[in-house]
């Protein structure tokens, strides 16, 4: 099989998985029976489309996992009546399916309450009747579909534009035009048009699937496709708007302009497309006005080349990206997006220990601050700045983190990246895993094939001790990118805490291989080895890391985890304290790491939390 065929097969399998499980998050089923009447149930600020499996809050569709939706449906079918635990068991786990019924049902009810903003102590919707079951308390009424469904946002995906000229050196430019059009469409009518994020859209690059198929997979109403050709100082773009249900071409146009008109062209194309979407066309004035990112076209092209290299997520790619961003800034010192990209690059450089975190973060923080100084409306830069505030000048400044994340969410509540950064840097350090999971799920609504979102989702589930669901999510993440070492890292962590030490060792060995020997992966392997009784190899890894540390940066947590596995608790505490001082990113989940549970009663552990301002 060719590499392209393999890639398409893997993407197709991944897409099928995420949207089969997409039903499990929000109950959406795109294969509706058009001819049957819709039954919409209204209660409080919610509406439920029982036929389509959709939950709406004030007209906005929410994701709800399949079992949660089944429980909600059953409660709504018996409003005011007791639904016994046995009835729910038969509905959720029929026949010979064996599960730990009590634990699983309690978890489902808890998550359903969380989705509805309900409380077990003071219920508005779901009342628990001890040893009997549950009762739906609110008044529920049936209403016409037309009262609810038109309020939902129209969903649209911009498929990767083709590189019409076929020159490999121009591939970055066609990708950039896709990215820019996504950004422009996000801004024309944000409350009425939901645009699938770039990360998910790019999974369909070179895909042979038709628009109807993609529409069903992503649950979108419209798709935009087209091509880009750049020749000299001119650019030609073909754009088509297609209705996914019947593949009708609603709008098509060819644009041919000079390169200097590129920025205004993207806004023009976005507005032309939105004008031909009936429920959006009259609402365009609500969108934000796009600012021209730079007056220097060459600086812009360098920035786009840098993004293209950075998305490869390799050391070579990061080096090339850094050079492009710095050249762009040299050409235009007021190019805010180039500073933002440079700040993001240094964040990842410090996160994975390619540079000492304090060194990387000092440069990255400066770049993020400069971007905000130039353009304070950049939501994603505010969220990046919030990540940097976690470790600014040896102080874990949580009020500043909250301030930046709140501002970012206010500026762009639809951004999956903002929600992910809020979950990781605003909620995870405080052990607020349920809230973090909810933010990641919201991000997945518009970026359902995002590797980063799924990766963090699996990590949050692991930290929440939901090992079965975490493993399913981690395996899906692995299918999204089989060459990613972070997926193997999470699989290994889940296996270790599930008692499958040999599987953990195998996964972390693979993570080391894929990462080229990233030291954090070696530390986790050492923990596995020590836990499995192979203390000789654990000590060998420790010595190898010590040798590496004489020549390059090694994250202190890498040493801490191996000492912890070997039972050398005093040394583990020394290195954990050092990791806090040095800004080691892998100490951030200190409140929720399962393997740190035996240390939580130790006064030294509470001293570490105080040092991170996570405890009074």
CA dist., res. 53 & res. 32, Å (int): 10
Q: Which of 21-30, 94-103, 176-185, 327-336 has the highest mean pLDDT?
A: 327-336
Name the residue with tokens 């440069």.
Answer: 363
Q: What is the pLDDT of residue 115?
A: 80
CA dist., res. 95 & res. 526, Å (int): 43
Contacts of 120 (CB under 8 A, 6+ apart): 110, 113, 128
Strand partners for 256: 236
> pLDDT grade, residue 287 (50/70/90)?
very low
Which tens digit of pLDDT belongs to each residue from 453-509?
A: 999 999 999 999 999 999 999 999 999 999 999 999 999 999 999 999 999 999 999
Q: What would the two tokens of residue 23 be? A: 């039903």
Between residues 311 and 306, the one the model is more confident about: 306
Q: Residue 417 pLDDT more than 60?
A: yes
Q: What is the pLDDT of residue 165?
A: 84
For every residue of 339-375, DSSP letters joined together read HHHHHHHHHHHHHTTSS-HHHHHHHHHHHHHHHHHH-
Nearest to 397 by CA among 385, 408, 409: 385
Contact call for residues 25 and 473 (beta carbons, < 8 A): no
> pLDDT grade, residue 445 (50/70/90)?
confident
CA dist., res. 334 & res. 373, Å (int): 9
Which tens digit of pLDDT belongs to each residue from 382-396?
A: 999 999 988 766 679
> pLDDT grade, residue 94 (50/70/90)?
low
Q: What is the pLDDT of residue 523?
A: 97
Between residues 539 and 67, the one the model is more confident about: 539
Q: List strands edge to edge, sheet with 133-136.
A: 82-84, 133-136, 126-129
Which tens digit of pLDDT belongs to each residue from 5-25?
A: 444 444 455 445 544 444 444
> pLDDT grade, residue 187 (50/70/90)?
confident
Q: What is the DSSP letter of 38?
A: P
Q: Residue 420 pLDDT more than 50?
A: yes
Q: Residue 226 pLDDT more than 80?
A: yes
Contact call for residues 526 and 538 (beta carbons, < 8 A): yes
Q: Residue 307 pLDDT more than 70?
A: yes
Name the residue with tokens 């840097």.
Answer: 425
Least confident of 161-165, 276-280, 363-367, 574-578: 276-280
Least confident of 157-161, 172-176, 294-298, 351-355: 351-355
Q: What is the pLDDT of residue 392?
A: 65
How large is the C-alpha radius of gyration of the chain? 25
Q: What is the pLDDT of residue 487?
A: 95
CA dist., res. 591 & res. 430, Å (int): 7
Burial tier of 91 (Cβ tally within 10 Å: 0-12, 13-18, 19+): middle
Contact call for residues 608 and 600 (beta carbons, < 8 A): no
Q: How much is the average pLDDT of 100-110?
A: 77
CA dist., res. 443 & res. 468, Å (int): 22
The helix or strand, by DSSP H or E, that contains position 401, with its residue range, turns out to be: helix 398-411
Q: What would the two tokens of residue 4 be? A: 């392209």
Name the residue with tokens 């003071």.
Answer: 122
Contact call for residues 113 and 46 (beta carbons, < 8 A): no
> pLDDT grade, residue 288 (50/70/90)?
low
Q: Residue 286 pLDDT more than 60?
A: no
Q: How much is the average pLDDT of 408-412?
A: 92
Q: List strands edge to edge, sheet with 141-143.
A: 60-62, 54-57, 46-49, 40-43, 141-143
DSSP helix/strand/coil, 47: strand
Nearest to 492 by CA among 508, 476, 481: 508
Q: What is the pLDDT of residue 19?
A: 44
**Around Cβ 440, how many Cβ atoms within 10 Å?**
28
> pLDDT grade, residue 117 (50/70/90)?
confident
Strand 133-136 versus strand 126-129 pairing type: antiparallel
Strand partners for 242: 223, 249
Q: How much is the average pLDDT of 407-430?
A: 94
CA dist., res. 549 & res. 568, Å (int): 20
> pLDDT grade, residue 122 (50/70/90)?
confident
Q: How much is the average pLDDT of 582-608?
A: 96
At the topology level of CATH, where does 26-147 sit?
A: Arc Repressor Mutant, subunit A (1.10.10)
Which tens digit of pLDDT belongs to each residue from 319-329?
A: 999 999 999 99
Mean pLDDT of the chain: 87
Q: Considering the chain, what percentage of its residues have pLDDT values greater than 70?
A: 87
Handedness of CA 289, 293, 294, 295 (dihedral sign): negative
3-state helix, strand, coil in the chain (%, to 5): 60, 10, 25
pTM of the full predicted structure? 0.76
Angle (deg, nearest 10), helices 467-480 and 451-463? 160
Strand 40-43 versus strand 54-57 pairing type: unpaired
Between residues 93 and 380, the one the model is more confident about: 380
Q: Which CATH architecture has domain 153-290?
A: 3-Layer(aba) Sandwich (3.40)
Q: How much is the average pLDDT of 521-545?
A: 97
Q: Considering the chain, what percentage of its residues have pLDDT values greater than 90?
A: 62
Q: Residue 606 pLDDT more than 70?
A: yes
Phi/psi for 282 (5° steps) reads: -90, 5
CA dist., res. 580 & res. 110, Å (int): 34
CA dist., res. 417 & res. 443, Å (int): 7
CA dist., res. 64 & res. 106, Å (int): 16
**Residue-range domain boundaries for the chain:** 26-147, 153-290
Q: What is the pLDDT of residue 64?
A: 77
Contact call for residues 235 and 262 (beta carbons, < 8 A): yes
Q: What is the pLDDT of residue 589?
A: 97
């Amino acid at each position: 099989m060719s590499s392209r065929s393999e890639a398409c097969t893997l993407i197709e399998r991944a897409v099928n998985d995420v949207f089969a499980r997409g039903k499990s998050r929000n109950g959406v089923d795109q294969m509706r029976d058009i001819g049957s009447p819709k039954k919409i149930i209204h209660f409080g600020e919610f509406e439920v489309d029982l036929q389509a499996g959709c939950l709406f809050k004030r007209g906005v569709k929410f994701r709800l996992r399949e079992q949660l939706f089944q429980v909600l449906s059953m409660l709504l079918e018996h409003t005011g009546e007791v639904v016994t635990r046995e009835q729910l068991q038969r509905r959720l786990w029929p026949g010979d399916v064996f599960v730990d019924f009590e634990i699983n049902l309690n978890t489902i009810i808890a998550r359903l309450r969380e989705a509805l903003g309900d409380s077990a102590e003071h219920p508005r919707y779901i009342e628990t009747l001890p040893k009997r079951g549950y009762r739906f308390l609110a008044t529920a009424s049936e209403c016409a579909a037309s009262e609810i469904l038109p309020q939902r946002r129209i969903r649209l995906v911009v498929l990767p534009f083709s590189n019409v000229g076929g020159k490999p050196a121009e591939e970055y430019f066609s990708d950039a035009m896709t990215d820019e059009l996504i950004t422009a469409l996000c801004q024309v009518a944000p409350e009425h048009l939901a645009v699938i994020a770039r990360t998910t859209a790019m999974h369909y690059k070179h895909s042979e699937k038709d628009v109807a198929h993609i529409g069903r997979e992503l649950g979108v109403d419209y798709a935009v496709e087209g091509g880009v050709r750049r020749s000299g100082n001119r650019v030609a773009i073909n754009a088509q708007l297609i209705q996914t249900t019947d593949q009708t071409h609603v709008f098509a146009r060819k644009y041919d302009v000079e390169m200097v008109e590129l920025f205004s062209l993207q806004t023009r194309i976005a507005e032309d497309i939105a004008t031909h979407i009936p429920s959006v066309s009259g609402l365009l004035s609500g969108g934000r006005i796009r600012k021209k990112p730079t007056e220097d076209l060459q600086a812009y092209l360098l920035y786009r080349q840098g993004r293209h290299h950075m998305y490869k997520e390799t050391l070579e790619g990061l080096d090339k990206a850094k050079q492009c961003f710095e050249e762009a800034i040299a050409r235009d010192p007021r190019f805010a997006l180039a500073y933002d990209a440079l700040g993001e690059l240094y964040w990842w450089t410090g996160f994975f220990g390619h540079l000492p975190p304090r060194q990387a973060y000092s440069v990255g923080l400066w770049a993020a601050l400069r971007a905000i100084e130039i353009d304070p409306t950049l939501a994603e830069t505010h969220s990046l700045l919030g990540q940097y505030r976690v470790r600014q000048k040896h102080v874990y400044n949580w009020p500043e983190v909250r301030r930046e994340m709140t501002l970012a969410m206010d500026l762009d509540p639809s951004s999956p990246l903002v929600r992910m950064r809020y979950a990781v840097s605003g909620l995870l350090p405080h052990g607020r895993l349920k809230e973090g999971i909810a933010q990641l799920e919201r991000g997945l609504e518009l970026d359902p094939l995002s590797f980063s979102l799924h990766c963090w989702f699996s990590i949050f589930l692991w930290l929440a001790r939901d090992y079965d669901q975490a493993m399913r999510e981690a395996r899906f993440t692995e299918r999204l990118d089989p060459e990613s070492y972070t997926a193997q890292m999470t699989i290994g962590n889940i296996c270790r805490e599930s008692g499958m030490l040999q599987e953990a060792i195998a996964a972390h060995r693979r993570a080391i291989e894929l990462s080229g020997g990233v030291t954090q992966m070696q530390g986790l392997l050492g923990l596995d080895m020590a836990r499995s009784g192979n203390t000789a190899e654990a000590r060998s890894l420790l010595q190898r890391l010590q040798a590496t540390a004489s020549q390059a940066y090694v994250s202190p947590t890498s040493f801490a985890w191996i000492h912890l596995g070997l039972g050398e608790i005093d040394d583990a505490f020394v290195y954990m304290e050092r990791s806090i001082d040095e800004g080691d990113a892998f100490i951030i989940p200190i409140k929720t790491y399962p393997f740190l549970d035996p240390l939580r009663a130790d006064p030294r552990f509470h001293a570490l939390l105080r040092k991170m301002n996570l405890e009074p």
